[in-house]
Amino acid sequence: MTASIEQKSFRIARADFEPAYLAAYRSGELQRRAEQARQQLAACCACPRRCGVNRLADQTGACKIGRYAHVASYFPHFGEEDCLRGWHGSGTIFFAWCNLRCVFCQNFDISQTPSGVEVTPEELAAIMLALQSAGCHNINLVTPEHVVPQIIEALVIAVEDGLRLPLVYNTSAYDSLESLRLLDGLVDIYMPDFKLWDAALSRRYLKAEDYPAAARAAIQEMHRQVGPLKLDEDGLARRGVLVRHLVMPGLIEETRAIMQFLSREVSPDTYINVMAQYYPAGRVSESRYPEINRRLTPAEYREALRAAQAAGLWRFDQRRWQLDYIGSHAL
């Protein structure tokens, strides 16, 4: 690495931190956003699919979700990045269904098959507060792209009942700019997963040819809102962007292009988790996808890290198991 977090001073004092949504609530902006978001459900543009259905009337489009969000599970998550999980866990809420159709999805059972329990805004707020009561360090909203209006509605209620944790928006990056603008000043930590760079590959593996363009625009907007990731004195994430990238077998050029984009068009100070955890899941075992029907090799992962460093990125989430994966080989 060319520098350290301490040298670059990406710090925010714990005593100086307040979740962004509290100021929005005090000004009345959060309440206005909730009403604006609710109205947008009448002709839904919550994600780049722009289905235009009336979700207020419980109509459904690509995401299969109507008026209310569906929650598959929620719990203190100890498998997230160290700066999120801390010592009490990240308060993770897994939303059911998704606006993508990734053939390799490791949560295929909840993202592409019927699952979860429908929750009202009051019930979703209660889940947030239960995670806070459990001692979690943040509220981690997983696969939220298609339920942004429902999240903002619930946030108003949760704040009124005492929610005070940082809000983490844990997304595929297939987000609409309309939704992200609704979240401006509400979300503390954006955690997009930039999956693929090439439109043809995105059409094949994600079933969304426009994914790369949407992800680029979304991540730039996220960075505009909150900037590079800042940690407190305990090493906990407080505000900023944390990008994940799942390295795919045989697709190192995708990784290289994404790393160059992040460094040149977002910031070389982008905090990134280069992930080695790919394995054949979802529909990959079907005969249509033999080229990705294998695990990543240590050599491929080492090359991905080299690509990130060559692009000028230097703030890496160093997961112990990922370091073990590449063994004793030098980068």
CATH of the domain at 293: 3.20.20.70
CA–CA distance, 315 with 272 (Å, rounded to integer): 6
For residue 284, is it within any domain? Answer: yes
- Total Cβ atoms within 10 A of residue 323: 12
CA distance 89 to 76: 5
* One-letter amino acid of 298: P
Rg (CA), the chain: 19
- The yes-or-no verdict on residue 309 having pLDDT over 70 is yes
- The tens digit of pLDDT for each residue in 154-174 reads 999 999 999 999 999 999 999
Is residue 331 in some structural domain? no
**What pLDDT does residue 325 have?**
53
Q: What pTM value is reported for the model?
A: 0.94
The answer as to whether 207 is a domain residue is yes
Residue among 95, 94, 97 nearest 51 (CA): 97
Average pLDDT along the chain = 94
How many domains are there within the chain? 1
The band of 330, judged by pLDDT with boundaries at 50, 70 and 90, is very low
Q: Considering only 13-17, 124-128, 309-313, which range has the smallest mean pLDDT?
A: 13-17
Q: Which amino acid is at 176?
A: S
Alpha carbon distance 266, 315 (integer Å): 13
pLDDT at position 5, please?
43
Domain that holds residue 208: 5-325
Full DSSP string of 37-68: HHHHGGG--SSTT-----GGGT---TT---SS
Tell me, yes or no, whether 330 lies in a domain. Answer: no
Q: How crowded is the C-beta side of 136, counted as CA atoms within 13 Å?
A: 29
Instruction: Kindly state whether residue 149 falls inside one of the protein's structural domains.
Output: yes
For the segment 180-221, what is each residue's pLDDT rounded down to a tens digit? 999 999 999 999 999 999 999 999 999 999 999 999 999 999
Residues 6+ apart with CB under 8 A from 306: 331
Task: Give a yes or no: residue 289 inside a domain.
Answer: yes
**Burial degree of 186 (CB within 10 A; 0-12, 13-18, 19+):** buried
Residue 259 belongs to some domain of the structure = yes
> Is residue 315, in this structure, part of any structural domain at all?
yes
* Mean pLDDT confidence for 39-66: 97
| pLDDT classification of 285: cutoffs 50, 70, 90 | confident
